[in-house]
Structure 1
Amino acid sequence: MHALIDTVPDAMVVIDGEGSIRSFSKGAEEMFGYGEADVQGENVSLLMPSPDRENHDRYIRRYLTTNEPHIIGIGRVTTARHRNGNTFPIKLSIGEIETAEGQGFVGYIRDLTESHATERELHTLQSELAHVSRISSMGSLATSLAHELNQPLTAVANYANAARDLLDEPGEENMALIREALEQCAAEALRAGQIVHRLRDFIKRGETERQIVSLRRIIQEAAALALMNGDGKGVDFETRLDASLDKVLVDPVQLQQVVLNLLRNALEAMLESPHRQLRVITTATEKAFVEVTVADSGPGLDSKIADHLFHPFKSTKSDGMGLGLSICHSIVQSHGGKIWVEPSDLGGTAFHFTVPLAETGNGDD
């Protein structure tokens, strides 16, 4: 049996009904950095980051009591914890087995960090996220603005040039023409502003396909995407997710775009930090909303930048276009929530946003 387990290319871990590790394949040894002798009889939660590490035994008891599978036979993308403390994205599948000692479980674990299978596992999700980003930013913004603003801006330039030429002969008749040209110039400028406002309102009111989904799962999958390609190496990543606030009424692709953007921004902000700590927390807020906080231990934000951080084309990155946080702002607002930034308890920056809970959400909004 063990010889067969060791031929499995991915990690394979067998546990008993109490969560204790009974078998640990060669693939698991390479993936997690433990030898089988190191983990034999240990609780499998040592392979998990918080909060799964603290809650795993409760998950098993709930399944054994209710026989309702939340992950068994389903599989999901989540995160795991290496012996050195680093977290990394995985595809986890769990099956149930009967042994001479009683009921047990077998977990098949695929490391998505540098695997070619990553593109196949997450291709659809990444394509949807990229599509949301393109439509929300460059598609609507550049094309619509370039087309609709061309006429009023051309008119402004023409009227201004005409007024300048008339000033060469500032007679009474020409002064009347100059005044008329400037009035037309102001009117065309106002028209350009109305076009921008109309486009902004259109984007903000864009329809969303809301569903009742698990906030925990959205955060876990976004974390797996953010930690791909070794971006989470050396990062102390932790989630504190309130189980009573799990069901939300949102467009899952758009919400995942928000979480993913905030996580990637936090990872980039901490590149030069000696201690890299990243935390995601969910807490209750008023009016049946849940508040999500993404906090890091980076250098923090200048207060002057923070005031304009969610405006388009305002970026803290030298090569950034400043659209990522603007998109997050639009998505959160379209769900009736709000987004803001504060100093983090970890020493860096904390982004907060709210989305509606499913229990009292209105699907017609």
Structure 2
Amino acid sequence: MSFTEVKRINGPEAATVSMGIYLGLSSIIILTLEISLGTFVFLFFTINLLISKTIKESTAGLTSLSELETAIREVKTDFNKKNITQSNILELENIREAFIETFTDLEEANNKLAKSKAKEMATAAYRNLIHDLQVPVMAIGHYMQILDHEMASIEDRKQAQVRIVDLAEQIIKQIKSARTNLALEATIESSDLLVSVETATQNAKASLAEKAFVEVKTILPNQSIRHPHDSVLLGRAISNLVSNAIDAAKSKVFVEVVPADKFISIKISDDGHGMSMDDASLFLQGRGKSTKADRMGMGISSANHIVRSHGGKIVYQKSQMGGACFEIKLQGDLA
């Protein structure tokens, strides 16, 4: 409380008035504090409520995103599964629909590509079959002319008859082999070629336990070689060749992988008796007659078809050990 004197205007000169002013400073301070505290409490609860709702919504969104990611990973491991849970969030639902649409398009494209590749392989196989049959068919025609020739001797005619029967058997054998090979479907994927070679060699050794005295040595590069191939089919081709090598070897078989700039060489060599170039050509075409039933002839023919389906070829030559050497050449740059 403070007092001050106030002189009245136009009043008596002696008339003065004392005026008291009540400031109430402490009350103002208390009121200000109460208002500030109330405002703080209100804002605190309001902000906490907003934060809680934001966290809840964010958690729900992250949960949906996590479920979407899990579903996508499941589809990645199992291409036949496309059951991705729908989301209430527009963006995630768009991602889900886009993924399913893209996956379906890729699946259709892969199916078309596989069918196209199968047709291409079948066409190439038939073309190779027709090419390989030209020689025996022409030979049969030649011997038929000898049979019909007036000047041909009885001995020549008998020999021609024997050769016609042999060639006919070879042609039937080759057609049967080609029909079996055409049923094979290659699934080409990029994987480590050395693993396929090593596995195929071990399988061949295991299948010929009675030949345990034969040393089978693999000579492989230090670094892995990633190359597009069907590990199962190409492994079967290598196993066939290694099995034949073990069967024919006296004591040693070498399996060597030699990478080059434009192709990869897989050599299977043995120290057996080997074979002539003509016999090797017949075996590769499926017309060879093995001294040990038909296993060897069909095995080499099947291996040749599989390698051809990989865009490669098999070349025969004498091995440095005096036996046979079948070399698989796979074309293409190394991965």
TM-score, length-normalised on structure 1?
0.40
Q: Which has the higher helix share?
A: 2
Superposition TM-score, scaled by structure 2 size: 0.43
With CA pairs under 8 Å and 6+ residues apart, which has the higher RCO, 1 or 2?
A: 1
Larger strand fraction of residues: 1
